[in-house]
Every structure is written in structure tokens, then in C-alpha cells.
């Protein structure tokens, strides 16, 4: 007869038949467990309530309780926990207007962000810089944002100019510094100082410097792009006298960046040139650029670029961008774009407005439409007037149900599949014929 197996023997022994010592639960393990419970809150979808009606007051209290937990976790010992808390706060600020909540805790949040930027590493520093942007976007152009910039400005500049810091942290800090300074427009001295700091970064691309090995230093290109875009944003709010100085300094040097190996740098330089020409023609009706013929040749070559050594996606993106840039430089034309949000529409009809919109869209992501509807600061920037108040019944009639959205997507998918199938059949027939 087979031997009977003893029950419970596996419960008394660990792997390999040896008894294991159970380690005590450490503080870091506790913080990670706390983070795992809170990780669901960092998803933007967790901040939108769909489905049956719920008690709004209770939901708001629960939401604020979660945010208070995130604020506390920004001081945790675990790097992962701090970073998850920063991301959770960022997602909350992109998806809701939390002016009153932030106003009461702005000093605590500012101290936490300063600590994370000073003592954190790459990802944590970048997350903290992005959160600082959103704080100022929520608070608007008041004294509260001025205090945040006074506290964080020197720290951000130090990271931007620190060659030993990670590129990811430096580029996030460059964007943060530019956006926060754009929001706090009262201090003209701080504006000029910030622009000079950013100029010191992206003008290095003019010289196309090489490192000690003689290889082109392309790893800094992303930083230079962010610094250039932040500088361009600040140029849109400068006095006319300062705009003229900047035009004299950069209008003849920026075309050098059109030859950069990075497609994003070429596009950023081209769109900056278009904006500079727009500002120049606003300040001087008879503005004349000496090297116009050479510049238009470069722009036309980029708008029709067919080099095989470049990726198709990059070529498509570049051609689309430079067609608009060429029209702006040659014909003083801008392709008007319509942005829909709720029952409202906004028309982007100039390069200044496009640059501003693209910057805030990059920061707010999927929350851009919501902030255009509800954020008073953004509505003032884009001259949309006070927020349009809609009652619950009107919003309900405007909202498309999930089932209707599903039917629409299914129909669009079928139509797209049929169209592509026809094209594939034609290509197959041609191949077989030859």
C-alpha cells in the first residue's frame, strides 16, 4: 500500500524543507504598502465620477482626504512612495479645480516640492517640477503664485544650470520656471532674469559644441528644446522694447538650428522663427529681413523633405509643421485652428496664441479642456471671459452615453477597415501583375 502523506508538514517548513526566520515589518515596507493602496488614486479616471448619482459632499470629503494623504506621503522615506504621491497630486490638479484646498496648504506643498527638487533624483525632481507648474496654474497670477516662484525660482535655476543633474530633471525645471514666470508677470526684473537663464541653455545649440570625445553632444538637445520653448513663451509677454532687442540677438542665429539632427529641435526652431516674424511685423509695419531668400529656401526644403535616412513619422511631422511656418514667413498667413470644449469654441489664429496653448496643453494633458471651461486664469489668458455656468440638466443632455460612443467607434472602425482593405487589394493586384 502507498504511504500516507502527512498533513501540515509543508506549513511548518519553508522552501527546501528548512525553517525560515520571519523578518519584522519595516517602515519602508509600510510606506510601500500605503502607496499600493493609494496607487489607484493616481489614475486620472479615479477623479471622474460616472454612473449613478452620489452624495457630492461626501465624495468631495473623501477626495480631499486622499489628497491630504498624498501631501503627507511626499515626506515619506521611500523614493517610490514620494514619487507616487507627487504623481497622484499632479493628476488631481489636472482633473479638478482645487483653488480653496490648495490655498490653505500652499506653504506645505511648496516646502514638499522644494525638498523633493533639492534632495530627490531624476524622476522625483521632474515630478515635483511638474506639480509646481500646476500649483501656479490653479492659483493664477496672484500673490500666492509670486510666493511660490520666489521660493522655488532659485532652486529651479540651480538645477537647470547644473551639468551633473539629469537631463530629465533639468528639462522639467526649465519648463516649470518658464510657465511659473509667465503666470507671475508683474515682476519685470524676474522675467528678464529667467529669460537670460534659459538663453544661456539653448544658445549652446547655436555653436553646435562637441564634447571631449569629439562627438556631437545630442543628449542635451531635449533640454535645449524645452529651454527654447519656455523662452519663446516668455517673449510673448515682453514689452515692445525688449522684443526688439531679442529680435536683433536671435533672428539671425535661430536659422542655424534648422540643420539640427533632431526633428523636434528643427520644428521648435521653425515655429519660434514664425513667432518672431509675427512679433516683428506687429512692432514694425515695414519690417525687412535681409536673409529672407536663404531662409525661405531652408524652410521650403524642410517642408518638402524626402530624405530616405529619416523616419517616415519624422518626415511627415516635419513637413506638416514647416508648411505652416513657410506660409507664416512668406505670406504672413496662419492656418486657424478651432478648439472645442463643452458648448464653447476657441479659435487659435496666431502663433503667439498657438505657442501659449501648446505649452499649457503639454502641462495639463487630458485636463486641458476642463481647465479651459473652469479655470479663470486660463480663460483670462485666452480672453474667454468668465466661466459659462451650466445646470446639471443641460450637462446631462450634452453628455453622450457609453453605448452611443461604442456604436460610433464601431462604425468608424468598420469604415476604416473597409477603406484600408480596398487599398491593400489594389497593392496586391499590382504586385501580382508585375
pLDDT tens string 329-382 = 999 999 899 999 988 999 999 999 999 999 999 999 999 999 999 999 999 999
Domain end marker among 333, 360, 383: 333
Distances from the Cα of 319 to the Cαs of 62, 349, 359, 401, in angstroms?
49, 20, 21, 38
382-420: pLDDT as tens digits: 999 988 876 555 555 556 677 777 777 888 877 877 777
Q: Assess whether 126 and 253 both reside in one domain.
A: no
Lowest mean per-residue pLDDT among 14-28, 97-111, 323-337 = 14-28
Q: Assess whether 231 and 374 both reside in one domain.
A: no
Q: Is 341 strand, coil or helix?
A: strand
pLDDT tier for residue 3 given thresholds of 50, 70 and 90: very low
What pLDDT is recorded for position 399?
A: 61
End-to-end, the C-alpha distance of the chain in Å comes to 76
Q: Assess whether 227 and 272 both reside in one domain.
A: no
Torsion-angle region of 8 (φ positive above 0: left; ψ -120 to 50: alpha; else: beta): left
Which 8-state DSSP code applies to residue 344?
E
Q: Assess whether 394 and 375 both reside in one domain.
A: yes
Q: Assess whether 66 and 121 both reside in one domain.
A: yes
**Any domain includes 225:** yes
Q: Assess whether 173 and 273 both reside in one domain.
A: no
Question: Which CATH number is 190's domain given?
Answer: 1.25.10.10
Q: Assess whether 233 and 247 both reside in one domain.
A: no
Q: Assess whether 223 and 266 both reside in one domain.
A: no
183-196: pLDDT as tens digits: 997 788 999 999 99
Q: How many domains does the chain have?
A: 3
Q: Assess whether 92 and 224 both reside in one domain.
A: yes
**Any domain includes 424:** no
**Any domain includes 21:** no
- The answer to whether residues 376 and 140 touch, using CB atoms and an 8 Å cutoff, is yes
Helix residue ranges, H only, 365-401: 368-374, 376-381, 392-398
Contacts of 362 (CB under 8 A, 6+ apart): 175
264-286: pLDDT as tens digits: 999 999 999 999 999 999 998 88
The per-residue DSSP string of 4-34 comes to PPPTTHHHHS-GGGPPPPPPP--HHHHHHHH
Q: Assess whether 263 and 288 both reside in one domain.
A: yes
**In sequence order, what are the beta bridge partners of 210?**
216
d(CA 266, CA 258): 5
d(CA 34, CA 50): 26
- The answer to whether residues 258 and 302 touch, using CB atoms and an 8 Å cutoff, is yes
**Any domain includes 432:** no
Q: Assess whether 228 and 80 both reside in one domain.
A: yes
Percent of the chain residues past pLDDT 90, beyond the cut: 63
Helix residue ranges, H only, 120-235: 122-139, 143-161, 167-183, 188-202, 204-207, 221-235
Tracing cell 489668458 back to the chain, one arrives at 381
Q: Which domain holds residue 320?
A: 239-333
What pLDDT is recorded for position 420?
A: 74
Q: Assess whether 199 and 280 both reside in one domain.
A: no
Amino acid at each position: 500500500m502507498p504511504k500516507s502523506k502527512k498533513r501540515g508538514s509543508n506549513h511548518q517548513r519553508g522552501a527546501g524543507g528548512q525553517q525560515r526566520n520571519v523578518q519584522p515589518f519595516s517602515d519602508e515596507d509600510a510606506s510601500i504598502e500605503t502607496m499600493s493602496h493609494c496607487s489607484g488614486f493616481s489614475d486620472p479616471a479615479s477623479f471622474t465620477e460616472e454612473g449613478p448619482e452620489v452624495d457630492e459632499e461626501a465624495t468631495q470629503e473623501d477626495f480631499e482626504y486622499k489628497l491630504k494623504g498624498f501631501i503627507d506621503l511626499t515626506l515619506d522615506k521611500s523614493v517610490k512612495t514620494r514619487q507616487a504621491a507627487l504623481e497622484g497630486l499632479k493628476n488631481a490638479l489636472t482633473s479638478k479645480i482645487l483653488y480653496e484646498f490648495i490655498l490653505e496648504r500652499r506653504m506645505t506643498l511648496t516646502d514638499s516640492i522644494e525638498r523633493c527638487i533639492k534632495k530627490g533624483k531624476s524622476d522625483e525632481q521632474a515630478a515635483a517640477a511638474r506639480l509646481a507648474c500646476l500649483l501656479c496654474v490653479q492659483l493664477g497670477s496672484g500673490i500666492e503664485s509670486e510666493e511660490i516662484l520666489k521660493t522655488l525660482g532659485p532652486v529651479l535655476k540651480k538645477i537647470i544650470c547644473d551639468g551633473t543633474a539629469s537631463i530629465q530633471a533639468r528639462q522639467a525645471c526649465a519648463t516649470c520656471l518658464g510657465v511659473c514666470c509667465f503666470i507671475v508677470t508683474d515682476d519685470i526684473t524676474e522675467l528678464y532674469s529667467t529669460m537670460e537663464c534659459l538663453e544661456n541653455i539653448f544658445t549652446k545649440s547655436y555653436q553646435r559644441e562637441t564634447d571631449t570625445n569629439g562627438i556631437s553632444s545630442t543628449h542635451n538637445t531635449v533640454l535645449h528644446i524645452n529651454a527654447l520653448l519656455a523662452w519663446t513663451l516668455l517673449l510673448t509677454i515682453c514689452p515692445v522694447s525688449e522684443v526688439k532687442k531679442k529680435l536683433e540677438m536671435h533672428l539671425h542665429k535661430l536659422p542655424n538650428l534648422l540643420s539640427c539632427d533632431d526633428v523636434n529641435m528643427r520644428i521648435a526652431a521653425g515655429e519660434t522663427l514664425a513667432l518672431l516674424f509675427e512679433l516683428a511685423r506687429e512692432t514694425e509695419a515695414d519690417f525687412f529681413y535681409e536673409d529672407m531668400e536663404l531662409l525661405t529656401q531652408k524652410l521650403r526644403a524642410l517642408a518638402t523633405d524626402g530624405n530616405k535616412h529619416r523616419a517616415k513619422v519624422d518626415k511627415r511631422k516635419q513637413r506638416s509643421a514647416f508648411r505652416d511656418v513657410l506660409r507664416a514667413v512668406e505670406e504672413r498667413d496662419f492656418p486657424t485652428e478651432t478648439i472645442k470644449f463643452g458648448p464653447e469654441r476657441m479659435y487659435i489664429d496666431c502663433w503667439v496664441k498657438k505657442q501659449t496653448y501648446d505649452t499649457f496643453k503639454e502641462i495639463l494633458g487630458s485636463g486641458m479642456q476642463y481647465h479651459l471651461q473652469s479655470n479663470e486664469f486660463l480663460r483670462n489668458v485666452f480672453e474667454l471671459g468668465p466661466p459659462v455656468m451650466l445646470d446639471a440638466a443641460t450637462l446631462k443632455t450634452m453628455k453622450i452615453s457609453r453605448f452611443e460612443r461604442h456604436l460610433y467607434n464601431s462604425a468608424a472602425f468598420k469604415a476604416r477597415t473597409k477603406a484600408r482593405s480596398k487599398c491593400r487589394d489594389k497593392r496586391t493586384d499590382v504586385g501580382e501583375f508585375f
